[in-house]
Structure 1
Amino acid sequence: MFSSKLGHTLTHDHAAPIGGDTAAPPPRKPVRRSRVLAKKPVKPGDTFGVPGQGSSLAISLVTVIAFVGLWFIATNLHWIKPLFLPSPQAVYQKFLYVATEGFANSTLAQHTGVSLLRVFGAFLLACVTAIPVGILMGVTRLARGVFDPPIEFYRPLPPLAYLPLIIIWFGIGEFSKILLIYLAIFAPLAIAARAGVRSVSIEQIHAAYSMGASRTQVVFHVILKAALPEIFTGMRIGIGVGWTTLVAAEMVASTSGLGFMVLNAAEFLSSDVVIMGIIVIGFFALCFDLLMRYVEKVLVPWKGKV
């Protein structure tokens, strides 16, 4: 009797009603997304779902203002001695003085002009030579076998390591300084060009051949265009390395230049001149990087879209 009652109870409790009269489950409440992860409508010309999409200009401005504000507060409240970190007002006053009166027998404009001539002269020479070499390394085994060993050998070396050898071979004139900066820019630019060539989709090459293109046409109209994003990245990296090498190049028998000005001021513990020179170098480097981004956007509008 007990088992029959138990079976009747289980059947009554768990059996589904006949006739499809099953009660619908209660509606689920919509899950509220956090505002950080919420999907926003895509603006015209933007790509949906790309991480990091959108402008970061406002965040960058806030970051710069925060750093300058912290610098102002720390120096004016004497948290740091002026010898180690001068105030923004002192750096600005020194900027005006060097721009008008000069430093080490040259004004700021003269120091800047000499450094720009050295860096951009070496950069243009590197673009004219390194980009074709990198493309050849990507399309021919012979060029890759000839140029790859020396480039990969000296690329990790710091410029100060082979600076004495350049001085022994070519003296202490202007040519040695430009050559040192040129060698520092050449390696990353050639490697970037080679990487751009090797990253071209094989389907694009086969499609060009199937439509009757010659090898030369494939190189210039398919491979070179597809390698442009990597080449521009190498140019941006190369000019940054060039500005870094500028200080090392102007260590030897220099009488002008931003790097010379910074090194000379450091010998006399003029930290305001040192920081002012660093800011000027960083300003020109940033301006060139922004220019390269704009040129890349104009010449390579398909980057990130194919």
Structure 2
Amino acid sequence: MTSLIPFALYVGIFVGSYLIVNKLIRRAARTDFTALKTVTFGDESAVISDRTASIISVATLFLLWGMFTGSVLVPPFLHAPGPYIGDGQFTYVVEGPDGQRDEATVFWRVQDPEGETEKLTVDPGDGPARNDALMIRAYRSAQLSWDKNDEFKRKDGARLVEIAGQPVAYDPATRDEADSAAKPVIEVDHATVTLSDKGALIVTPYTGLQMEPIWLPPPEDVVKRLVDIASEGFRGATLWEHLGLSLMRVVVGFFFGSLIGIPLGYAMGLSNWFRGWFDPIVEFMRPVPPLALIPLVIIWAGIGELGKIILLFLAALWIMAIAARSGVSGVRISKVHAAYSLGASKGQIMRYVIVPNSLPEIFTGARVAMGVCWGTVVAAELVAAEKGAGMMIMVASKFQNTDIVMMGIIMIGVIGFGIDILMRWAERWLVPWKGKG
């Protein structure tokens, strides 16, 4: 249930922001063409991105990231509850083989994962059951053999009868603890206590809602790692060399995929023969994920640059072919008839009618293909690459350098978003007639 809390907060911020911005704050009415439209549902040109919503969306993601990692960039009062750091104790009662009972106390201390904690020492006492000291690392649990320093030994028939005042269930025939389903989970101050299968005490301090840095580091750690790698490099190459090589592979693979895919799509859209010949191949390969082709490409072309380029070429080829085919098939026949009536030749119809009207679909396919290629190159670099964003993430994950992994993911996302923005800009510049009939 605790994993749903960040999602619930995200939904709450989304709804609250929407109500505040669109309902409570009276913004000046738009006077552009979009505002004059009376029917906007289903009209793509009537829906534009709300920059305020975009800013709040990104800020919300970083706020949640900081809240659930204890970031110094977020005010402390907004931090989610962190792991318990400090001392605690509980008592247990031991019954010896002769029926004699004695009580002992377990003192435990949770260590701060980012600093040194003074070691805990306690007076063991004089009774048959001796007091114990237990050091526990934050976000972890610790196990204690309760009879390690006791006069009552488990091997001699001694057994636990109470933990923090709660009785422990036993099989009266064997005097062994009951199975794990019947073992109690005992709540003590700031922790829970239960029994292992071997009868040892397991102490689990409360972990709170914050993520351990090994799973999700705070934003400032990722920024620090970005600065370090940008200045010092990573495994013999700078950050920009890693990202630049990945981008180069994507551009080359996408270029050759488009170079063959677009003419193939045009041929399939204009010729029954080409459509019948290539349609089964294209439709067969379209649902095959590029990552499934990695073993085959390695067998064919090895693990060098050629293999990665071929994989990216195949990732872009089918998308661009389908986009071009869809663009040609979507050209209004009325425009073709109008061109014929004005005396246009087939070449002129192709140049002035088919190509311009199919370009919006081709640009949409190009945006999708670039995204797929950018995601595929990272996976391709996971296999025996010396440089690249994927290699950097793979090596970092082996050594549990989560901050480098997060840095790589963010850089990949930023570059992918930048590529998409450039594609949108090129589309607006080269195909200004999109959505205008």
Counterpart position of 1:53: 47
Counterpart position of 1:62: 56
Per mean C-alpha deviation after superposition, the further-off stretch among 260-269 and 53-62 is 53-62
**C-alpha separation between the residues in 2 aligned to 1:132 and 1:223?**
13
The question of whether the paired residues in 1 share the 8 Å contact of 2:257 and 2:316 is answered with yes
**C-alpha separation between the residues in 2 aligned to 1:182 and 1:63?**
34
- TM superposition shift of 1:55: 4.0
Q: Which runs of 5+ in 2 are unaligned?
A: 1-21, 71-78, 83-209
**C-alpha separation between the residues in 1 aligned to 2:23 and 2:384?**
59
- As a proportion of its length, which structure holds more strand? 2
Counterpart position of 2:317: 186
Q: What amino acid maps onto 1:254 in structure 2? A: A
**C-alpha separation between the residues in 2 aligned to 1:45 and 1:208?**
31
Shift of the 47–187 alpha-carbon distance from structure 1 to 2, 3 Å rule, reads farther
**C-alpha separation between the residues in 2 aligned to 1:192 and 1:46?**
32
Counterpart position of 2:379: 248
Per-residue deviation, residues 59-86 of structure 1 (Å, max 9, x unmatched): 1011001111111121114411101110
- Please list, as runs of the form range in 1=range in 2, the aligned pairs for 1:162-241 lying within 5 A after superposition: 162-241=293-372
Per mean C-alpha deviation after superposition, the further-off stretch among 288-297 and 154-163 is 154-163
The question of whether the paired residues in 2 share the 8 Å contact of 1:90 and 1:272 is answered with yes
SS of the residue corresponding to residue 69 of structure 2 reads helix
- TM superposition shift of 1:303: 1.6
The question of whether the paired residues in 2 share the 8 Å contact of 1:134 and 1:193 is answered with yes
Per mean C-alpha deviation after superposition, the further-off stretch among 199-208 and 249-258 is 249-258
Structure 1 runs (4+) greater than 6 angstroms displaced: none
Give the one of 362, 372, 390 matched to 1:259.
Answer: 390
Per-residue deviation, residues 117-162 of structure 1 (Å, max 9, x unmatched): 1011111112222111111111112221232222211221122222
Per mean C-alpha deviation after superposition, the further-off stretch among 230-239 and 166-175 is 166-175
Counterpart position of 1:130: 261
**C-alpha separation between the residues in 1 aligned to 2:277 and 2:343?**
31
Counterpart position of 2:32: 43
SS of the residue corresponding to residue 302 of structure 1 reads coil
Counterpart position of 2:222: 91
- As a proportion of its length, which structure holds more helix? 1
**C-alpha separation between the residues in 2 aligned to 1:47 and 1:225?**
28
1:282 and 2:374 matched? no
SS of the residue corresponding to residue 75 of structure 1 reads coil
**C-alpha separation between the residues in 2 aligned to 1:230 and 1:271?**
39
Structure 2 length normalisation: TM-score?
0.59
Shift of the 147–217 alpha-carbon distance from structure 1 to 2, 3 Å rule, reads same
Per-residue deviation, residues 168-221 of structure 1 (Å, max 9, x unmatched): 111121100011011011111110111011001010000001111111211121
Counterpart position of 1:25: none
**C-alpha separation between the residues in 1 aligned to 2:427 and 2:35?**
17
The question of whether the paired residues in 2 share the 8 Å contact of 1:200 and 1:223 is answered with yes
**C-alpha separation between the residues in 1 aligned to 2:232 and 2:411?**
17
Counterpart position of 1:20: none
SS of the residue corresponding to residue 303 of structure 1 reads coil
The question of whether the paired residues in 2 share the 8 Å contact of 1:159 and 1:248 is answered with no
The question of whether the paired residues in 2 share the 8 Å contact of 1:42 and 1:48 is answered with no
Structure 1 length normalisation: TM-score?
0.84
**C-alpha separation between the residues in 2 aligned to 1:171 and 1:54?**
46
- TM superposition shift of 1:114: 0.8
Per mean C-alpha deviation after superposition, the further-off stretch among 260-269 and 145-154 is 145-154
Q: What amino acid maps onto 1:259 in structure 2? A: G
Shift of the 266–189 alpha-carbon distance from structure 1 to 2, 3 Å rule, reads same
Shift of the 257–35 alpha-carbon distance from structure 1 to 2, 3 Å rule, reads closer
SS of the residue corresponding to residue 287 of structure 2 reads coil
Shift of the 55–159 alpha-carbon distance from structure 1 to 2, 3 Å rule, reads closer
